[in-house]
Each structure stands twice: as C-alpha cells, then as structure tokens.
Amino acid sequence: MNTFLELTQQEFDRQKNTLNLIASENFPSPTTLQLLGSVWSNKYGEGYPGKRYYAGNTYTDILEKKVQDLALQVFDSTGEYSVNVQTLSGSPANGTIYMSMLETGDTILSLSLQEGGHLSHLHSTSVYNKFFNYINYHLRETKSNDFELDLDNFEEQLKKHQPKLTIIGFSAYTKQFDFPQLIKLAHKYNSLVLADISHISGLVATNLHSSPFGVGLDGADFVTTTTHKTLRGPRGALLFAKHKYIDTINKAIFPGLQGGPHFNKIAAVGNCLSEVLGDNQYPDKIGFQEYIKIVISNTKALENSLQQNGVDIVSPTQNHLCLIKLPIDVDSLELQNQLESLGIITNRNPIPKDIKSPWRPSGMRLGGAALTSRGLQEGDFVELGRVIAKIIKGEFQKPKDQKTIQNLIQKQNWYYK
Ligand code: DSN
C-alpha cells in the first residue's frame, strides 16, 4: 500500500479512537473535507475575481466571490467591512496586517502569551521583532486563581506607549469580554485595532460572544479568524478589514506576500460558512447556534466536574475552553503523555503568573468543541472530568477507569469513511 495512504489510515484510526479535548481542534463535516481534497486544488488563480493572471478561472471567480459574500453574511451586520479569503492561516493573516499597515519601529500592544495571548501577537521568539516593538497589557487577579482583563492597565499601556496597533484576541482566555469597550479605548489613543477571534469565531458568529464588527470607532479596523476551531471548518483563515483598508490588505496578500490562492481551502471554508448559516447541515443535523450553545455548556460541565473532584481551575470558563492549574508536583508534560496513552488528547498550557517553563508549564487547557461535534453529551463530559481528576491526583484505577474511557471513546459518532 502507498505509504502516505497507510499513514493516513493510521491517523484516521487515531482520531477515531481517542477523545479530543484540544480547544483549537474540531471535526469539520465530511463535505468540507471532501472539498479540501477536490479538483479545486489543481488550479492556479493569482489575482482576484475578474482580474487573474491565468486563464481557466471562470469557476474560481464565482467561488471566491461567493465565499466572500458568505463570510460577510455570517460575521458583519454593519456593512462596513470587506474580506480577503485567500489568506492562508491565522498567523500569516496577522502578519499581513503588520507588514502592510505598520512602519518599521512601530509599536504593537497585545496580551502576553503566558496570560493567554498568541505567538503571532508578538513574543520574544517572533521574527517580527526585527521590525516592530511589542509591549503587553495584562490581566488582574480578582480573586484567587481568577483572572480577567485589566481595563485600567489596558488604558495605561495605550496612554504610555501610543501603539500603532492594538491586538484584542486570545488563545487561552476563558472569559467573555466586551469587544466594543476595548476597541473604543484603543481608538481613543489613535491606535489601529486588530481583533483576532480565531478561538471564539463560532461564538461570535452565533451572537454568543460580543462582536468586534462595529460601526465607526466601535468596530475593529481588522478582524482575523482561523476557520478550523469553533467555526468547525477546514484549516484556513479569513481577514476582514474596514472598506478603506481592503485595497492595501489585498495587495499585501497578493502580490505582496502570497502566490496563488488555495481554492480547495476556499471552497471548504465556503461549505463551513454555509453550515453556520444553516444552508447546509452538519451530519448530526444540529443547527450551528445550538451546537455552540452545547459546546459552552459541555465545557462548563467538564470544568465543574474537575473542580468537584478536587482539581484547581483558573478563571472559571464562560466560553469553549477551560484552564486547569496542576498541583506543583505534577509535571504537565508527563501528564499530557499519560493522558494520551489512555486515549485522552490534551495540551499543556501556561497559566497567568506561571512559575514553570513554557515547555513544562503549570496548566492544562481543555476545550469542548471537538467532543461536542463527536456527539458527547453533558453527562459524558462530567464522567470525563471525574476520570481526568483521578489521573491528576494519581488515583486512576485500572481496569475500572480505563473501561470508562473506552466506553466514551466507543460512544462517539464518526462521520468519515
Ligand atoms: N495552536 C492554536 C491554539 O491551540 O490555540 C493557535 O495557533
């Protein structure tokens, strides 16, 4: 058998037979996956609809325009935004904004990685440090182990550093927050605003989180999102910009930074957006808004169960992910490996005020989106929380607890062939 098909089969079996709690992963519909592996992958189309360099772009033009329309329909009720659907993924989308809208030496303000930000929002390891300065705003601890955005600090940093760009968006932040309030503050100090909604785009699309798409100074200047997290699409991204910036953004993406669009990804994103709108359905026939509501309640059920079984929680969840603070003597890398050996896939994660290294941080991040797509219900999440707590506390009992995990694995739906 072909090595790559064989490897694919192995990965297929691994995914089918494990419990996925990684907050940034999900299971797109079979149609979305089918489009990724379709003939769209064969076509070059440098340029934009109606203005391409090669022939043969009749259908890619229709496709790209349609996906743009769907993206705006899903996210923008203001009519103030345009969208680029060619950007390849979240980090390149953010980088496009830095490289096209900023000048060398400009300052970017963002939340630090340790407190829940993202690598692409600049960090000591970022290549963008060659061109830009970055500074961070911070969280405040409202009570023990409970952190939230510190609006006073946010404003102080804006005032002190006068950043050219402020990034609002997080990859390990468990709370709901008010986008317009933060956006207005940043605009007060003449900063451009990038809202990176990669993690919460499913919640924003269904009005289950406040939106950065707003009129005038209430709206972010740019909004980026990956499409494969709570939005449940293929790996990819969307880059929205207020109309006045879209020409600059489009030129930066092509010919500035990228070559030909990946139409297979664009078609798959289109299908995902049509599922969000209800024009097409995910195989479980649960509408997208209902799905996101269940993701939030399942994540809460998991968190409650962990807590009731003696695990410390950081910043109780109000969205699709929760954060655990491990006992000081538990090594998060070893725990992650032990969980994987039992069929539970997670990722270790820094937590605010972490005293350990990023490689072996003090926390674990767990998300409910993927297992909700696999059909697990509240009672299953409660059971999973109970077993994970036993593993963390070194109280795992074979074969009883192993059987519980196996039952949950077997209970999951699987829509791929
Ligand atoms: N790796 C993704 C996450 O887990 O949040 C973001 O890039």
Helix (H, G, I), strand (E, B) or coil at 167: strand
196 is catalytic: yes
Q: Which of 21, 113, 118, 364 to mutate to test the pocket of ligand 1 (most atoms within 8 A of CB)?
A: 118
Catalytic residue, from 226, 227, 299, 317: name it: 226
C-alpha–C-alpha distance, residues 228 and 269, integer Å: 9
Indicate which atom in ligand 1 lies nearest the CA of residue 365.
4
Percentage of the chain exceeding pLDDT 90: 99
pLDDT tens-digit map of 72-92 = 999 999 999 999 999 999 999
Residue with tokens 């739906």: 413
Q: CB pairs under 8 A, 24+ apart, for 155-158?
A: 155/185, 155/189, 157/109, 158/109, 158/185, 158/186, 158/188, 158/189, 158/191
Distance (angstroms) between ligand 1 centre and the Cα of 24 equals: 6
Catalytic residue, from 52, 164, 232, 235: name it: 235
Distance (angstroms) between ligand 1 centre and the Cα of 171 equals: 6
For position 405, what pLDDT does the model report? 98
For position 182, what pLDDT does the model report? 98
Distance (angstroms) between ligand 1 centre and the Cα of 178 equals: 22
Indicate which atom in ligand 1 lies nearest the CA of residue 23.
4
380 is catalytic: no
pLDDT tens-digit map of 24-44 = 999 999 999 999 999 999 999
For position 43, what pLDDT does the model report? 98
Looking at the chain, the number of H-run helices and the number of E-run strands are: 14, 17
Distance (angstroms) between ligand 1 centre and the Cα of 282 equals: 24
Indicate which atom in ligand 1 lies nearest the CA of residue 91.
7
Work out the angle at residue 267's Cα, subtended by the Cα atoms of residues 265 and 273, and round it to the nearest 5 degrees.
Answer: 100
Catalytic residue, from 52, 164, 229, 325: name it: 229
List residues near ligand 1 (CB under 6 A).
24, 90, 118, 171
C-alpha–C-alpha distance, residues 41 and 263, integer Å: 6
Distance (angstroms) between ligand 1 centre and the Cα of 41 equals: 25
242 is catalytic: no
Per the CB < 8 A criterion, the answer to whether 351 and 363 are in contact is yes
Q: Which of 22, 171, 345 to mutate to test the pocket of ligand 1 (most atoms within 8 A of CB)?
A: 171
Q: How many CA atoms lie within 13 A of 70 on its CB side?
A: 23
Per the CB < 8 A criterion, the answer to whether 396 and 386 are in contact is no
pLDDT tens-digit map of 406-417 = 999 999 999 999
pLDDT tens-digit map of 204-226 = 999 999 999 999 999 999 999 99
For position 1, what pLDDT does the model report? 78
Tokens of 391: 């593993």
Residue with tokens 């969208």: 83
Residue type, 187: H
Give the Å distances, CA to CA, from 44 to 53, 54, 87, 249, 261: 9, 7, 15, 20, 7
Concatenating the DSSP letter of every residue in 286-346 gives --HHHHHHHHHHHHHHHHHHHHHTT-EEES--SSSEEEEEPPTT--HHHHHHHHHHTTEE-
Q: Enter the pTM of the model.
A: 0.97
Tokens of 236: 């990819």
Please report the domains of the chain, with CATH numbers, ordered by start residue. Answer: 8-26+283-411 (3.90.1150.10), 31-277 (3.40.640.10)
Per the CB < 8 A criterion, the answer to whether 91 and 120 are in contact is yes
235 is catalytic: yes
Closest Cα to atom 4 of ligand 1: 24
Residue type, 219: G
Task: List average pLDDT for each run of 10 residues in the chain, which is 417 residues long.
Answer: 95 98 98 98 98 98 98 98 98 98 98 93 92 97 97 98 98 98 98 98 98 97 98 98 98 98 98 98 98 98 98 98 98 98 98 96 98 98 98 96 98 98
Q: Which of 120, 229, 235, 365 to mutate to test the pocket of ligand 1 (most atoms within 8 A of CB)?
A: 229
Other beta carbons within 10 angstroms of residue 120's beta carbon come to 24
Catalytic residue, from 64, 76, 196, 221: name it: 196
C-alpha–C-alpha distance, residues 264 and 269, integer Å: 9
248 is catalytic: no
Distance (angstroms) between ligand 1 centre and the Cα of 100 equals: 24
Closest Cα to atom 5 of ligand 1: 171
For position 76, what pLDDT does the model report? 98
Indicate which atom in ligand 1 lies nearest the CA of residue 347.
4
141 is catalytic: no
Helix (H, G, I), strand (E, B) or coil at 79: coil
Q: Write the DSSP symbol of residue 417.
A: -
